[in-house]
Amino acid sequence: METKTDSFSLNKVLPSNIRPIIIRGLLLVVGWTLLYKFVLGPAGIPDNQLSKLVQIGTAEVLSWFYPNVTQAGTIVFIDGIPSVSIGHQCNGLELNALYIGFMLCFPASFRKILIYTLVGFAAIYTLNVIRCAVLAVMYINHNDLTDFAHHYAFKLVIYAVVFYGWVLYSKKPAAK
């Protein structure tokens, strides 16, 4: 015979200080998914703007090394050769949403959330621009590792940086 104390309970499984984090996380995931699927995504916000920013940044970085870098549509050209196309799936929006969502799950001051969000967004954007520029060079040089770099190596680097940002954010400040 099962008693009340033997039954499964989240109160037993999850420590009381973790429950609010999980609840916030679930609410953020559901809220972001609904907002993006029904409002932002169909309007192209912020995908269009972020993809364009990544494209402009990529072209700028490439122009430091190549004299003839142009853009048309979503494509960046090096010496007239299409080198990389910045699609919405490559603009870093999902990773930024994940990174910022993590920040919002943990209790912290508005200032700390704002600083880590801005620095994290800048880091993700910068790494993404560098990634796209390197992929463009690899593509026009017919490098055999382009596909591997695109699908695995760069993701590993970017996710490691994001994880490091989370670790720094979640640490308690040292007592003075």
pLDDT (tens digit, 9 = 90+) per residue, 42-93? 999 999 999 999 999 999 999 999 999 999 999 999 999 999 999 999 999 9
H helices present in 47-142, as ranges: 47-63, 93-105, 110-140
Backbone φ, ψ for residue 74 (5° rounding): -105, 5
Dist. CA 18–CA 155, nearest whole Å: 29
Domain membership of residue 123 (yes or no) is yes
More confident call, 149 vs 5: 149
Quote the number of domains for the chain.
1
* Residue range of the domain that includes 51: 17-170
Q: Is residue 12, in this structure, part of any structural domain at all?
A: no
User: Nearest CA to 26 among 120, 104, 109?
Assistant: 104
This model's pTM is above 0.85: yes
> Is residue 65, in this structure, part of any structural domain at all?
yes
Which residues have a Cβ under 8 Å from the Cβ of 70 and sit 6 or more positions away?
59, 76, 77, 80
Residue 10 lies in a domain: no
Residue 11 is assigned to a structural domain of this protein: no
Q: Comparing C-alpha atoms, which of 126, 106, 139 is closest to residue 60?
A: 126
Residue 176 counted as domain residue: no
Instruction: Answer yes or no: is 9 within a domain.
Output: no
Q: Per the domain annotation, does 24 fall within a domain? A: yes
Query: Contact at 8 Å (CB) between 130 and 122?
Result: no
**Tokens representing 124?**
């993700």
pLDDT tens-digit series, residues 137-150: 999 998 899 999 99
